[in-house]
């Protein structure tokens, strides 16, 4: 004989406890998954922001070199200096206080605007490529007969490694 359950009866205590247990397990699993996703997103956002900063710095460097007059490139004591094709805009790159910095301003100004491009830099090395395909750690060429064709920058960043950018110099258009 089968027992017929009264239609007005509620759920039993056992059914209620089982339902609450299942609901609690689903809630804990959902919270754990959400917490993991948020932590990964937080770490990824920080890394992406840092990569964007590095990309911007190398883009600025490349654009400055393309806009530089090859005849005005100097590299002394780890400081790379150029003048723009207009002959008036001075740009300098240097390693100062563990930062790759860019200084820019009018040619004859004593105080140039300083921009910190990349933090946590352990070393910066510049090289200039001459027409004979020789690299120089100081420029202009002591013989004074060669012209700069390209500038190479190597940036050693703590906890990341090295970045390099090779940028070619372009001659100004004849006036």
User: Chunked in runs of 10, what are the mean pLDDT values of the chain (175 residues)?
Assistant: 63 89 93 90 81 92 92 92 88 94 90 92 95 90 78 92 92 65
Buried b (16+ CB within 10 A) or exposed e, 29-42: eeeeeeeeeeeeee
Per-residue pLDDT, 174: 65
Per-residue pLDDT, 100: 95
Per-residue pLDDT, 84: 86
* Residues 153 and 164 sit within 8 Å (Cβ to Cβ): yes
Per-residue pLDDT, 42: 83
Per-residue pLDDT, 173: 63
pTM here is 0.72
Per-residue pLDDT, 166: 94
């Amino acid at each position: 004989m089968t027992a017929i359950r009264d239609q007005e009866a509620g759920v039993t205590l056992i059914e209620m406890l089982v339902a609450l247990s299942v609901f609690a397990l689903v809630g804990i699993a959902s919270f754990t998954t959400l917490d993991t996703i948020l932590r990964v997103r937080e770490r990824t956002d920080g890394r992406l922001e840092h990569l964007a900063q590095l990309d911007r710095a190398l883009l600025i460097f490349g654009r400055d070199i393309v806009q530089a007059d090859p005849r005005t490139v100097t590299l002394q004591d780890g400081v790379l200096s150029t003048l723009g094709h207009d002959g008036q805009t001075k740009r300098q790159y240097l390693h100062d206080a563990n930062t790759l910095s860019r200084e820019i301003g009018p040619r004859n100004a004593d105080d140039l605007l300083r921009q910190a491009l990349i933090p946590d830099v352990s070393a910066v090395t510049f090289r200039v490529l001459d027409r004979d395909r020789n690299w120089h750690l100081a420029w202009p060429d002591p013989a004074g007969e060669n012209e700069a064709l390209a500038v190479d920058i190597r940036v050693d960043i703590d906890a990341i490694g090295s970045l390099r950018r090779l940028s070619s110099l372009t001659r100004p258009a004849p006036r």
